[in-house]
């Protein structure tokens, strides 16, 4: 198997990213020196530790001492209450400015652990060891961290780049297919706007990817990570190009909020957000055949149906989204395959009139 080495340059330094089957083993020596003589805090969930705990044994053995900070699975862990509990446990365990944090779990764990590390004593180093496809290609890369407030996902957080990201695709073998599918939606999102060749690869290998074939997953994780790195380097704090990553997320987040983060996974909600964005993009230059290509690929994902949702609820949730500005919502839309733009001129009336038909038949071309 191939191990892929990337690097993300950001205003505070460089984050090495190692991806592929056996990436943890490949990086073992550097990791040992990173924790030598220090206290290591492992933020993880009982489920992930039960499945993959031994994968961290060598790292934990190299630290002065290691402390496990257990959190719940999923979005429910991303609360200030949990963050405060972790900070208190870290203080009690003698955590210092030179302590290290490892985030060992999915996207929620990555967000929470990054936030906890970023604010503990004004910032300690964190390494991301994502255990889901979603986290390997997206959440663990780029320094975004956050917890949620009621009704406001990711409303409290900061940019805190990890010291290192280890995306070991061997950890994905235990993922249920719907988790792989959710992560692949983010891959497809990036591929469509940033890396059309990756889109072709996903179209070709989709069945193997959904079956967690590590040979197929390795290059997909590495190429998606590379696409994200390029965008983040160009715009570390999301003032411009990085917003392209929000393709599908304006409505996707609103769907998740209205459903109270139950019923659909993040990637599944984003898939419906992508379908809706294609409708708005239709009047802004996106060729029909490109839209249909993305729609056809997403059809093969076998997504769960979109639950019944009300237009007003979605509009209200979208207006509360943190990507909104005083002047209104920002929509990231493709204008061609491999090219996206932020639009601020999409009126509420247009969104409203497109949403009704979309909710009735999300898969239609609109």
Cα angle 203, 262, 297; round to 5? 10
Using CB under 8 A, which residues numbered 162 to 221 contact a copy of itself? none
Note whether 100 and 39 are within 8 A (CB). Answer: yes
Cα angle 119, 168, 30; round to 5? 65
Using CB under 8 A, which residues numbered 237 to 266 contact a copy of itself? 237-238
The reply to whether 5 sits near a copy of itself by the rule CB under 8 A is no
Site size with a copy of itself, rule: CB under 8 A: 43
The reply to whether 97 sits near a copy of itself by the rule CB under 8 A is yes
Rule CB under 8 A: choose which of 28, 32, 49, 121 binds a copy of itself. Answer: 121
The reply to whether 345 sits near a copy of itself by the rule CB under 8 A is no
The reply to whether 156 sits near a copy of itself by the rule CB under 8 A is yes
Measured distance CA(141)–CA(167) in Å, rounded: 10
Q: Which among 182, 144, 160 has a CA at the least distance from the CA of 322?
A: 144
Measured distance CA(308)–CA(306) in Å, rounded: 7
107 Cβ partners below 8 Å, 6+ apart? 130, 132, 134, 135, 138, 139, 140, 266
Q: Which among 151, 248, 104 has a CA at the least distance from the CA of 190?
A: 248
Rule CB under 8 A: choose which of 44, 66, 82, 99 binds a copy of itself. Answer: 99
**CB environment 159-194: b (16+ within 10 A), e (fewer):** bbbbbbbbbbbbbbeebeebbbbbbbbbbbbbbbbb
The reply to whether 155 sits near a copy of itself by the rule CB under 8 A is yes
Closest separation in Å from C-beta 93 to a copy of itself: 11
The reply to whether 9 sits near a copy of itself by the rule CB under 8 A is no
The reply to whether 326 sits near a copy of itself by the rule CB under 8 A is yes
Q: How far is CA 265 from the centre of its chain?
A: 12
Stretch of 192-200, 205-213, 256-264, 319-327 contacting a copy of itself, by CB under 8 A: 319-327
The reply to whether 234 sits near a copy of itself by the rule CB under 8 A is no
The reply to whether 136 sits near a copy of itself by the rule CB under 8 A is no
Binding stretches for a copy of itself (CB under 8 A)? 11-12, 37-39, 64, 80, 84, 87-88, 91, 96-99, 118-123, 144-146, 149, 151-152, 154-160, 237-238, 320, 322-327
């Amino acid at each position: 198997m191939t191990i892929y080495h990337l690097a993300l340059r950001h205003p505070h330094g460089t984050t090495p990213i190692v991806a592929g089957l056996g990436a943890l083993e490949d990086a073992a020596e550097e990791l040992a020196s990173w924790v030598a003589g220090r206290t290591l805090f492992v933020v993880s969930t009982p489920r992930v530790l039960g499945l993959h705990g031994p994968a961290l044994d060598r790292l934990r053995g190299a630290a002065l001492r290691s402390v496990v900070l257990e959190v719940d699975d999923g979005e429910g862990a991303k609360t200030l209450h949990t963050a405060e509990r972790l900070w208190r446990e870290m203080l009690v365990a003698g955590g210092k400015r030179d302590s290290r944090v490892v985030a060992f779990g999915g996207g929620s764990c990555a967000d929470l652990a990054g936030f906890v590390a970023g604010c503990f004593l004004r910032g300690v180093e964190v390494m991301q060891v994502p255990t889901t496809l979603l986290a390997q290609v997206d959440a663990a890369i780029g320094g975004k961290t956050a917890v949620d407030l009621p009704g406001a996902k990711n409303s409290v957080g900061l940019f805190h780049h990890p010291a290192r990201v280890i995306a070991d695709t061997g950890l994905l073998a235990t993922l249920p297919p719907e988790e792989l599918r959710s992560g692949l939606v983010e891959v497809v999102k990036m591929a469509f706007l940033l890396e059309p060749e990756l889109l072709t690869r996903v179209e070709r290998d989709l069945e193997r990817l959904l079956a967690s074939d590590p040979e197929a997953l390795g290059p997909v994780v590495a190429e998606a990570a590379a696409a994200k790195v390029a965008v983040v380097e160009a715009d570390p704090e999301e003032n411009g190009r990085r917003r392209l990553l929000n393709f599908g997320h304006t409505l996707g987040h609103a769907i998740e909020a209205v459903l109270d983060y139950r019923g659909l996974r993040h990637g599944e909600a984003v898939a419906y957000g992508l379908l809706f964005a294609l409708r708005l993009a239709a009047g802004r230059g996106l060729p029909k055949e490109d839209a249909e290509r993305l729609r056809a690929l997403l059809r093969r994902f076998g997504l769960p149906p979109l639950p019944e949702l009300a237009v007003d609820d979605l509009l209200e949730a979208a207006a509360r989204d943190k990507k909104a500005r005083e002047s209104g919502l920002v929509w990231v839309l493709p204008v061609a395959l491999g090219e996206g733009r932020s639009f601020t001129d999409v009126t509420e009336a247009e969104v409203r009139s497109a949403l009704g038909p979309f909710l009735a038949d999300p898969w239609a071309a609109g």
